[in-house]
Amino acid sequence: MRTGEVCALTWDDIDFENRVINIKHNVYCKTKDDKGRWYIGTPKTIDSERQVYINDTLLAALKNYKTKREYLKKQYGNKYHYYHLEDIKNKFGKVVEYRIVKIKRKSKLFKSLELLFTKKDGKYVGTDIIRYPFKIIHNELNIKNCRFYDLRGSYATGSLRQGVEIKDIADALGHSKIETTEDYYISSTEKTRKIANEIFEEVIQSDIIDRIINYKY
């Protein structure tokens, strides 16, 4: 998932029964004022609205994380931060996006927006939440050329190497064309090119080939 898609997730988007994540929104920031700066709109493209299946590892992690969030709500009590969506309309009165606004005190007037990724006290900081862990990655682990977005490329390359069809990878990434996946998300290295050569070597093995290359003049 793209960074904005991850940070726009709510628990309503997680279907534990059918084991899918429904990707329907994208979060982004605008000029900050007294209500904050985070907004939710549609994903990047039409094909970006999709479902991602949840494997066993992710299912266990999400269930454990949800339990943790409920525990933190109880621990922080009235100090826990809650949010709701405020409609943003254009000049014709059509809702074009939503603004994430903090509820000053928990009220039945607003439907609480159950965002997945917040600070421990529920404070929502949008995509800024990944800054600290990547500061650790860059400065303490000394992995300089690494971004959250690069995980999409790692997923694509790793899946392809294990035999997953590129169309399935493109669909999971939200690409309408497999060329986008091939050109920008599938990496090639000296190691993978050597592996490709070794695989081809195994494919072409046969008695006829063996007799030809070992023919004695």
Name the helix (H) or strand (E) containing 85. Answer: strand 82-89
How is residue 121 written in tokens? 């006290």
* Amino acid 216: pLDDT: 62
Distance of CA 93 to the CA centre of its chain: 32
* Amino acid 179: pLDDT: 86
Burial annotation 48-60 (CB, 10 A radius, 16+ → b, else e) = bbbbbebeeeeee
**What is the value of pTM for the model shown?**
0.79
Task: In whole angstroms, give the CA distance from residue 113 to residue 144.
Answer: 35
pLDDT digit string (tens) for the chain, length 217 residues: 999 999 999 999 999 999 999 999 999 999 888 888 999 998 877 778 999 899 899 999 999 999 999 999 999 999 999 999 999 998 899 988 999 999 987 666 778 899 999 999 999 999 999 999 999 999 998 988 888 888 888 888 888 888 888 888 888 888 888 888 887 777 766 776 676 667 667 766 777 767 766 666 5
